[in-house]
Structures are given as structure tokens and as C-alpha cells.
């Protein structure tokens, strides 16, 4: 059986071609739902997804007569995507998400119907100034969370850390369902502070290339004591009056930004995390190791910390698990 998986985010689309669950080829385009939001039209997104799908199929040499199953998740199901699907309400696990998948025809992209995975939101109560912090939502991360549970054979209660431009912290309950999530602008803040503030000169517009724990932990500790903004300025102080290397200064900033994210996790009303909660940290190595270092050295956390190491993308693993459960494949 040939399978095409489509993962569309805010700025990028990734398409993989598989035979059964063996990767044959992949293609990507720097196109996402941001293009729709900016232009007011889905044309650019539609063209980009179609091109990536066709490229992946060509690279995989899928025979024209073969049936292909199409699976998709991410922001492609949002109101600025290609097939809007309402969020499911938490708690939602493998069964609820599989049952909530929607099959739709998009002939501009594929000759076969495409199965789309819905996103998840924390609750359906009216949102006010007083309770806005309790609300959060995801599109794509729910599939990655299912991929984590399936790939690593992990069971809840657990907290899955998915670093990115918008970092997601996904709580899994004792029934292996998504209980809720907390989102931060951690990645965007790190990018803006590093490249578009006075610290651009101090850091030469560069992020930490490798983790240096003493500097990382110092940034985190100072953030706890004096806040993120003050710690950021301390990077300029270190640049002017210390002998710290560029990478050490970048680690101070990284520690401060990530610690601010962890403070949100500990104090948020969006879900409940206890000190003994099992934490699974995903993502690229630098951010993964940074989050793991901070959590292991934070006296508040005393549970197991797992660094996710997987052979294929979490999104693909999640799509396969959901499709198997729904008996699509």
C-alpha cells in the first residue's frame, strides 16, 4: 500500500511518500497557512501542497495505477487552511481523534480523498478576560502527541514538550488522552530578541550552537529571580564587561526564555502538572537538551525525564497510528 502524509504548518509544508510504513521519498515547500492569512486566498497554499505531493510521488516512483491513501494533519484544517475542521474538545485520545478524522475530496491536490485529523482545544466555555489563560488549542501537535505515545510506548500521566516557534506543552492524562495544552511564543521571542533588539550586537545575531549548562542554568536562575526582561539585558552587560564566549551568552538568553516557558507550565490553569509528572522532551537536539537540562535541574520537577529519539517524524507516526485505529490502512 502506498501512503502520502501531508504536514502543513504556519510557514512550511512537508510531504512524505511511503510504501506501507517504509519511507520512499519526501518533499517540502516554504509555504503554509501564513500565506493564506496574508493574501486572503488559499491559492498559494493549494499550489504549494499540490507541488510537494506531486514531487514526493515522482521521487517515490509510485505507479500511476496504484491506489494511494492520503493522510494529513496540521494547520491545513484551520480556517486559513484547505479543509476547515472544528477542534475536538479535550480530553481526546487515539480513539476520539481517529473517529474525528474527516475524509474530503481536494481534486486540485490528489485524485483520491484525503483524510484530515482535527485539532484539539482545551474547553468550550465562553472565553473572557478572567479565564482566557485556561483556553488553548492545537492543530498538528495532537498528531505528534499520538506519535510520541505510539513510538515510545509511553503512557500517561505525562507532559510532552514540543519546542518550536510556538512551543507546545501537551498534557496526557492517565487514560492516554490529551487533557489540554499550553502554548508559548518562546521560539519567536528567542528569534526576535536575538536578531532584532540591542542584543543582536551582543550575540552577533546567533543562537546557541551547543548547550553549555552553567550559562544556561544561570540564565534560568536569574529569570526566576528578576524576570525575563531584566535577564535579557544582563546578556548585554555580560557582553560589555565579561569574557564569556558568544555561545555562552546565547546560552544565558536561551535559559531565560525557556525558563519563562517552564514557569507558564507550572502555573497555568490550562492543565494540571505535578512535580512527579513524567516529562517527554521532543524537538531538535539543541532545544531538546536545553529543556531537559533545565527540567532536571529545577527543584520543582522530580519525575522521570525522557528525551525522545525516533526514527521518523512524530507527525507521520501519529498519522499511521490514527489511520490504523480508524482502519483506513
pLDDT in tens, the chain (329 residues): 999 999 999 889 999 999 999 999 999 999 999 899 899 999 999 999 999 999 999 999 999 899 999 999 999 999 999 999 999 999 999 999 999 999 999 999 999 999 999 999 999 999 999 999 999 999 999 999 999 999 999 999 999 999 988 999 999 999 999 999 999 999 999 999 999 999 999 999 999 999 999 999 999 999 999 999 999 999 999 999 999 999 999 999 999 999 999 999 999 999 999 999 999 999 999 999 999 999 999 999 999 999 998 878 999 999 999 999 999 99
Taking a C-beta distance cutoff of 8 angstroms, is the pair 53, 6 a contact? yes
Residues 93 and 200 in one domain: no
Claim to verify: residue 315 and residue 172 sit in the same structural domain: yes
Residue 183 and residue 298 in one domain: yes
Residues 76 and 159 in one domain: no
Residues 69 and 205 in one domain: no
Q: Quick one: pLDDT at residue 311?
A: 76
Q: What's phi and psi for 158, nearest 5 deg?
A: -160, 160
Check residue 301 and give its pLDDT: 97
CA distance 181 to 172: 9
Instruction: Identify whether the C-beta of residue 69 lies closer than 8 Å to the C-beta of residue 2.
Output: yes
CA atoms within 13 A on the CB side of 277: 24
- pTM score, whole prediction: 0.94
- Reduced to 3 states (helix: H, G, I; strand: E, B; else coil), residue 181 is strand
- Residue 245 burial class via C-beta count within 10 angstroms: exposed 0-12, middle 13-18, buried 19 and up: exposed
Q: Could you tell me if 157 and 290 lie in one domain?
A: yes
Among 27, 118, 14, 19, which Cα is nearest to 73's? 118
- Distance from the Cα of residue 203 to its chain's centroid: 26
User: 40: how many CB neighbours lie within 10 A of its CB?
Assistant: 8
Last residue of a domain, one of 86, 101, 118: 118
Q: Give the separation between CA 50 and CA 69, rounded to whole angstroms.
A: 15
Residue at which a domain ends, from 92, 118, 144: 118
Q: How many domains does the chain have?
A: 2
E strand residue ranges, the chain? 2-8, 13-19, 22-29, 68-74, 88-89, 102-104, 114-116, 120-121, 137-138, 158-162, 167-172, 178-184, 278-281, 305-307
The x, y and z cell numbers of residue 321, run together, are 497510528
Task: Give the CATH number, domain containing residue 46.
Answer: 3.30.420.300
C-alpha cell belonging to residue 178: 490529551
- Residues 112 and 3: their CA atoms lie apart, in Å, by 11
In the numeric block, which cell numbers belong to residue 233? 539585558
242 and 261 share a domain?
Answer: yes
Check which CATH number belongs to the domain holding 212 and give it: 3.30.420.310
Q: Are residues 214 and 144 in the same domain?
A: yes
Q: Beta strands 137-138 and 120-121: pairing type?
A: antiparallel
* Local structure of residue 169 (DSSP, 8 states): E
Give which of 70, 146, 126, 147 is closest to 102, Cα–Cα. 70
3-state secondary structure (DSSP) of residue 213: helix
- Confirm if 307 and 316 have CB atoms less than 8 A apart: no
What's the rounded Cα separation, in Å, for the pair 60 and 53? 11
Looking at residue 64, what DSSP letter applies?
T
The pLDDT assigned to 54 comes to 97
Give the per-residue pLDDT at 165.
87
Are residues 137 and 263 located together in one domain of the fold? yes
Residues 326 and 206 in one domain: yes
Residues 6+ away with beta carbon under 8 Å from 35: 44, 45, 48
**Cβ atoms 307, 294 nearer than 8 A:** no
The last residue of a domain, from among 97, 118, 139: 118
Contact (CB, 8 A) for 16 and 56: yes
What is the Cα–Cα distance from 144 to 146, expressed in whole angstroms? 5
Whether 104 and 164 share a structural domain:
no
Identify whether residues 28 and 144 lie together within a single domain. no
Which residue has 490514527 as its cell numbers? 322
**Residue range(s) defining the domain that contains residue 197:** 126-329
Amino acid at each position: 500500500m502506498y501512503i502520502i502524509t501531508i504536514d502543513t504548518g504556519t510557514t512550511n509544508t512537508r510531504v512524505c511518500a511511503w510504501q506501507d510504513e517504509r519511507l520512499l521519498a519526501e518533499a517540502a515547500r516554504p509555504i503554509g497557512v501564513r500565506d493564506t492569512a496574508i493574501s486572503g486566498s488559499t491559492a498559494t497554499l493549494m499550489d504549494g501542497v499540490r507541488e510537494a505531493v506531486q514531487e514526493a510521488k515522482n521521487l517515490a516512483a509510485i505507479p500511476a495505477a496504484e491506489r494511494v491513501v492520503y493522510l494529513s494533519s496540521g494547520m491545513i484544517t484551520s480556517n486559513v487552511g484547505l479543509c476547515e475542521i472544528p477542534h475536538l474538545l479535550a480530553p481526546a485520545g487515539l480513539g476520539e481523534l481517529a473517529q474525528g478524522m474527516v475524509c474530503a475530496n481536494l481534486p486540485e491536490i490528489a485524485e483520491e480523498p484525503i483524510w484530515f485529523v482535527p485539532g484539539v482545544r482545551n474547553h468550550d466555555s465562553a472565553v473572557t478576560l478572567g479565564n482566557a489563560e485556561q483556553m488553548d488549542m492545537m492543530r498538528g501537535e495532537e498528531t505528534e502527541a499520538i506519535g510520541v505515545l505510539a513510538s515510545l510506548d509511553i503512557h500517561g500521566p505525562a507532559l510532552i514538550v514540543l519546542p518550536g516557534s510556538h512551543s507546545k506543552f501537551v498534557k496526557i492524562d492517565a487514560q492516554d488522552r490529551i487533557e489540554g495544552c499550553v502554548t508559548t511564543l518562546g521560539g519567536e521571542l528567542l528569534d526576535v530578541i536575538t536578531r532584532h533588539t540591542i542584543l543582536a550586537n551582543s550575540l552577533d545575531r546567533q543562537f546557541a550552537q551547543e548547550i553549555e549548562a552553567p550559562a544556561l542554568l544561570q540564565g534560568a536562575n536569574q529569570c526566576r529571580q528578576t524576570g525575563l526582561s531584566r535577564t535579557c539585558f544582563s546578556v548585554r552587560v555580560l557582553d560589555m564587561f565579561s569574557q564569556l564566549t558568544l555561545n555562552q551568552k546565547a546560552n544565558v538568553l536561551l535559559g531565560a526564555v525557556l525558563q519563562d516557558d517552564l514557569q507558564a507550565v507550572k502555573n497555568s490553569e490550562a492543565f494540571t502538572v505535578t512535580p512527579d509528572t513524567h516529562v517527554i522532551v521532543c524537538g531538535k537536539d539543541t532545544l531538546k537538551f536545553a529543556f531537559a537540562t533545565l527540567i532536571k535541574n529545577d527543584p520543582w520537577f522530580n519525575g522521570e525525564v525522557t528525551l525522545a529519539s525516533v526514527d521518523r517524524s512524530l507527525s507521520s507516526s501519529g498519522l499511521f497510528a490514527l489511520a490504523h485505529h480508524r482502519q483506513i490502512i
